[in-house]
Amino acid sequence: MTFYNIIFGFLFLGACRQLLLLLETPTVWTAATIAIVIFNDAVNTSEILEGQSTVTYRIGMKLIGLSTFVLLSLVLIALKPTDNPFNVNLGQKLAFLRSPWVIWALLTAYWALLIWWNYLAGCFSSTTSPFPLKVISVVLIVPFIVGMIVSCGHTTMSDVPRWPAFLAFSTIGIYFVVLKPALRISQIAPQGEAL
């Protein structure tokens, strides 16, 4: 078991905890989006790193992986600033994390880092990844940007309309559960792709 598995296992358990705590709240779709994003990262990246991949896990990729852990940790803290997996009560510390748009900004930054990680891994080269998969991987940042724009001006997560979070969950979920497996089964997707 690698360090990566341990930290992302912890994040996934934290995301599941937050999802269960928020089941009957307006924030449920945001929590579900975070859980599916973390699940994808943990499963696919460990598959790449522990599988029979030709990807060399270089220091730049390790730093990006650690940065994504920090971003996703901040997302989990921002989701419930007083009751989160890290037992951190924000109080006045990091007060900016209380703004709803920050969750979506952090998720956008996370996805941008994930795209960069895939680029460094060679997943966007013309020989390893089909053009549609490259486009889909990059376009998936859009629901996070939409969530950020829609949540600007709102002071709490319960004030933010639910549809951007549902859009993000649905879009990312369809990609992870339907498109990506279909591409892998049809031998179109490369084995070394994390997105």
Q: How does DSSP assign 7-28, residue by residue? A: HHHHHHHHHHHHHHHTTTSTTH
Could you state, in order of their start, the residue ranges of all structural domains in the chain?
3-185
CB 71 within 8 A of CB 110: yes
Q: Which residues fall within 8 angstroms of residue 92, CB to CB, at 6 or more apart?
A: none
- What is the CB-side half-sphere exposure of residue 154 using CA atoms within 13 A? 18
pTM for this predicted structure: 0.86
Per-residue pLDDT tens listing for the chain (195 residues): 467 778 888 899 999 999 999 999 989 999 999 999 998 887 776 666 666 566 677 888 889 988 999 999 999 999 988 888 888 877 676 777 888 999 999 999 999 998 888 788 777 766 655 566 677 778 889 999 999 999 998 988 889 999 999 999 999 999 888 877 776 665 444 455 555
Neighbour-count burial of 194, counting CB atoms closer than 10 A to its CB (0-12 exposed, 13-18 middle, 19+ buried) = buried
